[in-house]
């Protein structure tokens, strides 16, 4: 299963282990994904759908413990091989690493989950910055996590290209001034990605072409060269706007 649906399955297993009769279906989880962050998602669920629910003890402690259970089951799913990478992800990251491109992670997923996923498929040393979970106070769509990564990398935002998969992620990256390519998934394919430089079904593989949803791209799969061309196209469009306003 893809990583995002792995989170949903892990939530449901955590609920069951905690003795709760909650179950998040695929469609319902898609609605909940408007809220970034697992703990924030649980709190939103309680406010919107179970306002009468009162846990034993402090609500924040209850949510934190429930989220720890979810993390436990997510890691078990990952370790069992049930959670895989999306098409093209491993190929592109390995290509970028070989070419000496600086790699970084900016996600609302908790740090243990991110580390486990990266350790399973890559090497943590490949990534100059791993920004995850509660490392910044405001999660996506706020730009805080991208501002944090930019500062740590000491790079000009114009040199950075972001891969996102949700409207919250896109809004966060755009607010930080970053060129963004979006790969949709079953949960996010109907969201508004009009501000993205390119929107595709996935990164694609030589034998498994991606589908272009928005933007200019004629290849079968995204590689390092095609991503770099997206930055150049955005720069050209921006320069054209500046010239037309003079």
**What's the average model confidence in pLDDT over 211-220?**
93
β partners of residue 214 = 199
Class of domain 3-80 as given by CATH: mainly alpha
Q: Any idea of the CA torsion for 4, 97, 87, 36, to the nearest 10 degrees?
A: 20
**Who contacts 143 (Cβ-Cβ below 8 Å, separation ≥6)?**
172, 173, 175, 176
pLDDT band (50, 70, 90) for residue 239: very low
The pLDDT assigned to 5 comes to 80
pLDDT at 159 over 70: yes
Per-residue confidence (pLDDT) for residue 237, from 0 to 100? 54
| Region 5-30 average pLDDT | 95
> Is the pLDDT confidence value at 4 over 80?
no
Token pair, residue 221, equals: 């799969």
What are the C-alpha distances in Å from 179 to residues 28, 117, 128, 208, 235? 30, 25, 19, 25, 9
The two structure tokens encoding residue 58? 């402090």
Q: Tell whether the model's pLDDT for residue 245 goes beyond 50.
A: no
The angle formed by the CA atoms of residues 87, 179 and 203, to the nearest 5 degrees, is 10
| Domain boundaries along the sequence of the chain | 3-80, 89-245
pLDDT tens-digit map of 128-140? 999 998 899 999 9
Q: Worst-scoring range by mean pLDDT, 54-63, 84-93, 101-110, 224-233?
A: 224-233
CATH assignment of 89-245, among 3.40.50.150, 3.40.50.300, 1.20.90.10, 3.40.50.1000: 3.40.50.1000
| Whole-prediction pTM | 0.87
Predicted local distance difference test score (pLDDT) of residue 2: 55
Q: Residue 235's pLDDT is what?
A: 54
* pLDDT exceeds 60 at position 232: yes
Above 90 in pLDDT, residue 21? yes
């Amino acid at each position: 299963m893809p990583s995002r649906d792995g989170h949903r399955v892990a939530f449901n297993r955590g609920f069951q282990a905690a003795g709760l009769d909650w179950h998040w279906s695929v469609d319902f989880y898609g609605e909940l994904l408007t809220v970034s962050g697992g703990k924030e998602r649980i709190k939103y669920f309680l406010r919107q759908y179970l306002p009468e629910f009162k846990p034993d003890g402090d609500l924040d402690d209850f949510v934190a413990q429930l989220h720890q259970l979810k993390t436990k089951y997510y890691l078990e799913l990952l370790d069992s091989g049930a959670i895989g990478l999306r098409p093209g992800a491993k190929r592109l990251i390995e290509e970028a690493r070989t070419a000496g491109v600086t790699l970084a992670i900016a996600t609302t997923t908790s740090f243990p989950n991110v580390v486990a996923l990266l350790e399973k498929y890559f090497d943590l040393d490949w990534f100059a910055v791993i920004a995850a979970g509660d490392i910044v106070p405001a999660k996506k769509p706020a730009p805080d996590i991208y501002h944090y990564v930019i500062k740590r990398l000491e790079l000009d935002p114009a040199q950075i290209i972001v891969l996102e998969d949700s409207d919250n992620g896109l809004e966060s990256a755009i607010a930080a001034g970053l060129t963004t390519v979006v790969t949709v998934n079953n949960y996010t394919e109907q969201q508004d990605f009009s501000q993205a430089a390119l929107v595709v079904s996935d990164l694609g593989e030589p034998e498994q072409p991606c589908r272009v949803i928005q933007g200019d791209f004629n290849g079968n799969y995204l590689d390092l060269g095609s991503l770099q061309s997206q930055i150049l196209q955005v720069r050209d469009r921006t320069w054209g706007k500046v010239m037309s306003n003079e």
